[in-house]
């Protein structure tokens, strides 16, 4: 198959498997989504969803969170890991949202990425899932699968994002990025598939005999 043919097969197969694409992180608005995505760095969505009810009961707006001591935030989010950095980021971005954005989450990559603890991936998730802006956030699952499926060389996540945006229509990005994540967690896992096991890997590369080595994100 040519790369474009592989892309069409992947899109069709994922649409068949995952016609619904619920957002994995529990949230109520752009602010709670922003905080949840920040917490998900090097942490599972399941663990984040276990932690955020207590955190949002404490404060679920930038105004309220800005008044919570960093130490208290850290205590609540400790199960998510990296709690010292994440608690400072949550407190810092909440204050900036109040002071510079009227308590609202900005709807631009530039302004989001200027917030403490918010990188391009986090900004992409918020822009796509909170505001519907076309984006293709690349996490470890997408980075891994894009290489196994021959859709990207996988030199880094920046290159992977660029390659996938070229291959798929813009109006499919938001939906497709979640579908790939779902498939990567369920079927083409880091340890459960090596490029020769799952259904899509076998369909795309039926002659592949050796494991596909993937570059880390």
Q: Which residues are catalytic?
A: 121, 139
192/179 Cα distance (integer angstroms): 18
The DSSP annotation for 172-205 comes to GHHHHHHHHHHHHHHTS-TTT-SSSSSHHHHHH-
Q: Over 38-76, what HEC string results? A: HHCCCCCHHHHHHHHHHHHHHCCCHHHHCCCCHHHHHHH
Reading the block at residue 162, the tokens are 């660029």
The burial class, CB within 10 Å (0-12 / 13-18 / 19+), for 110 is: exposed
Q: How many degrees, rounded to 5, is the angle at CA 74 between CA 131 and CA 40?
A: 40
């Amino acid at each position: 198959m040519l790369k474009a043919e592989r892309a069409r097969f992947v899109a069709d197969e994922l649409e068949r498997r995952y016609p619904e694409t619920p957002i994995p992180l529990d949230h109520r608005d752009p602010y709670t989504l922003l905080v949840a995505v920040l917490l998900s760095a090097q942490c599972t969505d399941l663990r984040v969803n276990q932690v955020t009810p207590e955190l949002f009961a404490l404060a679920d707006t930038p105004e309220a969170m800005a008044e919570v001591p960093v130490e208290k935030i850290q205590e609540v989010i400790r199960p998510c890991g990296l709690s010292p950095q994440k608690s400072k980021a949550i407190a810092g971005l909440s204050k900036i949202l109040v002071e510079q954005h009227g308590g609202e989450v900005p709807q631009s990559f530039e302004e989001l990425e200027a917030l403490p603890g918010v990188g391009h991936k986090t900004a992409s998730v918020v822009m796509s899932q909170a505001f519907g802006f076309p984006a293709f956030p690349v996490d470890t699952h997408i980075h891994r699968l894009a290489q196994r499926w021959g859709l990207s060389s996988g030199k880094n996540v920046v290159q992977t994002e660029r390659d996938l945006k070229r291959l798929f229509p813009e109006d499919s990005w938001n939906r497709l990025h979640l579908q790939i994540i779902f498939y990567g967690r369920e079927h083409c896992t880091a340890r459960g598939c090596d490029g020769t096991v799952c259904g899509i890997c076998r369909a795309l590369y039926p002659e592949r005999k050796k494991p596909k080595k993937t570059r880390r994100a």
